[in-house]
Structure 1
Amino acid sequence: MAEVSHDEPRPVRRFLRRLLIGVLLVGFLVVGGTSFRVWQVARGDDRASADVVLVLGAAQYGGTPSKVLEARLRHAKNLYDEGVAPYIVTTGGNQPGDTYTEATAGVRWLTEHGVPEDHVIPIGKGNDTLGSIEAAAEEIHGRGWRSVVIVSDPWHSLRARTMASDAGLEARTSPTHSGPIVQTRQTQIRYILYETAALLYYRATKASADNIGVPGNVGADK
């Protein structure tokens, strides 16, 4: 009977160990690199001229924007006043029982603060980032426009820009730097981690991660 060698499995174990280490290293680099890009884009502010300023929706209450949405609208108005774009597009649908959509609440706030009503375009569709951007892109393309400056929270900017680019828009970002989401270091870290996971999920599935029970839902009072 031939003697069984106990050394034969060792190369297999060595290969599997190296493979596991390689997979973990690649995963770390992908996650770490994505987190860095989320942080990097969050710190940017591209105010080059565009066709429209695109405001992503957040919660509203009876037509009154939440603090998160108000911060975005105020920033969009500043961009409009600076001449970055001649129109503002507001986005976001409504929850069951709501009289106003996030988009119409945005129009209401902007017109009350001096933006002419015919320069604000509400797109009251979509209850997550992807749905809102796709609905807005359809309207923007239909008007013969293409370039947008997206206004949202800093950590949300890279994912929103990625989705807008995939929808055929020339997208830049000018995030807000005020409001509840940017007030504490713990909040910032939490949203960077969430947006890293949500962006990787979108890139893998082309679906939104906004409605899976974690922070970042475009319709939530984040």
Structure 2
Amino acid sequence: MDDDDELAYRPLDDLVDRSEPAVADGDSAPPPWWRRPPRASRIVAGVVAVLALYYVVSLVQVVQAGRSQFDEPVDAIVVLGAAQYDGRPSPQLEARLDHALALYDGGVASFVMVTGGKLPDDRFTEAEASRRYLADRGVPESAILMEDAGTTTYESLESASVVLLGEGLDDVVLVSDPFHLKRSDLIADGLGLDARTSATPTSVVTGWTSVRRHLEEAAGVALGRLVGFDRLSDLVG
């Protein structure tokens, strides 16, 4: 019998390649190495997923804060500033002031703190325009406190907190547009105030503009918690 005949008649078991272990029935073999995702890619995907979830949680918190209508007694009402036109509140600021006035008339607090500085070419600060608006509607001058130097939310609340805490008025309710309240609340709490929030129900920021502002504020809240709201204020103004 020649070599070819010997190979043809060798037992089947002798022809089986035993270099790899047999896979048991019901088990699946691991994919070849070239089909497995690199470890670095899995890490990056995990980080992206965590950051996306963190942003979504921040967005939910921004939306929830914007629905707050706190109206229990506190020491002071704090109105976050917005644009003014030569001493006249813009529609956005007017809506905030009208809500603060309703809270004041409802006995929520004995003091109203108005905030906001001015642009270089302005004659009046946002706080001055707000003070005049409230005084014209019956709020006594003695009940209106002012912070008129801040040009950002953080700067305004930082200056306002010094005045409020100096007067022993640490329990406050913040009044602003719905999208603006979560970040303002976190800043105020970090500055030593015991802050609640009450969103103006007549905000002029509506539709897609409101959606965009909520998305932007969620990013600000998420980033501010990581780097600090004071540093965020320095970075973005």
Normalised to the residue count of structure 1, the TM-score between the two structures is 0.86
Decide which moves more: 189-198 or 158-167. 189-198
Aligned partner of 2:82 in structure 1 is: 58
The match for 1:198 is 220
The size of the alignment, in residue pairs, is 204
Cα deviations by residue, 1:160-196 (Å, 9 ceiling, x for unpaired): 0000000000000001121321x32x12210111101
Q: Which consecutive unaligned segments of at least 5 residues does structure 2 have?
A: 1-31
Separation in structure 2 between the aligned mates of residue 26 and residue 179 of structure 1, nearest angstrom: 33
Deviations 1:3-32 (A, max 9, x none): xxxx88987x53222212211110111011
Alpha carbons 1:90, 1:106 under 8 Å: kept: yes
Instruction: Say whether residues 1:108 and 2:108 are aligned partners.
Output: no
The 5-angstrom pairing of residues 120-199 of structure 1 reads 120-181=144-205, 183-184=206-207, 186-199=208-221
Structure 1 stretches lacking a partner, 5+ long: 1-6, 218-222
For the residue of structure 1 that corresponds to 2:199, the secondary structure is coil
Q: In structure 1, what residue type is equivalent to 2:87?
A: G
1:127 is paired with a residue whose SS is coil
Q: Alpha carbon RMSD of aligned pairs, Å?
A: 1.9
**Alpha-carbon distance in 2 for matches of 1:210, 1:82:** 37
Greater C-alpha Rg? 2
Amino acid at match of 2:135: T
Q: Which residue of 2 aligns with 1:220?
A: none
Amino-acid identity (%): 38
Taking the aligned partners of 1:157 and 1:88, their CA distance within structure 2 comes to: 17
The amino acid that maps onto 1:147 is D
Q: 140, 143, 157: which is aligned to 1:119?
A: 143
Q: Do the aligned partners of residues 211 and 113 (structure 1) sit closer, same or farther apart at CA in structure 2, a change above 3 Å counting?
A: farther
Q: Contact between 2:154 and 2:233, CA under 8 Å: does it hold in 1?
A: no
